[in-house]
Amino acid sequence: MSLRTFIFGLAASFGVAWLFIIVVPFIKLRNLEPIRLNEATDGTTGIFYPKRTGRITNGALVYAENGCYLCHSQLIRPTYAGNDLYRSDWAGLKADPDRGDTRRETNIYDFSGEKFAQIGVSRMGPDLSNVGLRVSANYSTGGDPAKWFYDHLYNPRQDPKLWKSTCPPFRFMFSERLITGNPSNDAIAIVDDGKKEILPDSDAQALVSYLLSLKKDQAVPAVLNFAPPKNKG
């Protein structure tokens, strides 16, 4: 066997696999055709194409830079592949006051337009597919969910419900500032006998905007709606 044949064979055996398992799916998933919603089956019109813009997009980058995906997934598997769907409010709210059960599987459109599909590496922490929805409904009841997120990033064990949290604090995203005049409205805490305030930096603001945007409760087109017939909707 000549070196030429060997190199050709090596390239072919790895190249074909790379082509069909990486390249073709990449191109196909990169340019998703949005699905049109219709009033009769989906209850709304428009297109199914969740879009993120502005600070939320910046927040997605902060999420990636800080390795949140190492512990947090954003993937609710269909029921034949796991039990994520019925874990406490991971996949949506069990009893949304208006829409009833909003729990659903993650589909590829949930990641459309994103630089990274943050499906996650491990589940040291809870799934974040619907963390924006969950925090407003369960944790920051009555309060500002953004404030709850800032507190949580500054000290993940601050909420008594989360005393066991293993999430590392992200204090480097906050800065201390001497108060001159009135404290800022954005201050998450006043320290040093009222002399200093702790303020979220732009990274923290972007990240919290992104986390608040993680709500998968919009109407899904009938082709992606796998609810059992009696609950279809």
174-178 vs 196-200, strand pairing mode: antiparallel
C-alpha triplet 150, 174, 207: angle, nearest 5°? 50
Which one of residues 9, 15, 43, 46 is an interface residue with other proteins (CB under 8 A)? Answer: 43
Based on the shown chain and the rule CB under 8 A, indicate whether residue 30 belongs to the binding site for other proteins: no
Based on the shown chain and the rule CB under 8 A, indicate whether residue 101 belongs to the binding site for other proteins: yes
Per-position x/- string for 193-222, each x denoting binding to other proteins as judged by CB under 8 A, each - no binding? --------------------------x---
- List the interface residues with other proteins, window 45-64 (CB under 8 A): 45
The DSSP code for 208 is H
> What is residue 189's three-state secondary structure?
strand
Query: Which residue reads 């998968």 in tokens?
Result: 216
State the nearest-atom distance from the C-beta of 183 to other proteins, in Å.
42
Compute the distance between CA of residue 101 and CA of residue 95 in angstroms, rounded to an integer. Answer: 5
Of the two residues 96 and 186, which places its CB atom closer to other proteins in the complex? 96
Based on the shown chain and the rule CB under 8 A, indicate whether residue 31 belongs to the binding site for other proteins: no
For residue 221, give the nearest of 77, 98, 38 by alpha carbon.
38
Could you tell me what percentage of the chain is helix, strand and coil, using 3-state DSSP and rounding each to the nearest 5?
Answer: 40, 10, 50
Per-position x/- string for 107-146, each x denoting binding to other proteins as judged by CB under 8 A, each - no binding? xx--------------------------------------
Which residues make up the interface to other proteins (CB under 8 A)? 20, 24-25, 28, 39-43, 45, 78-80, 85-86, 94-95, 97-101, 105, 107-108, 219, 224, 226-233
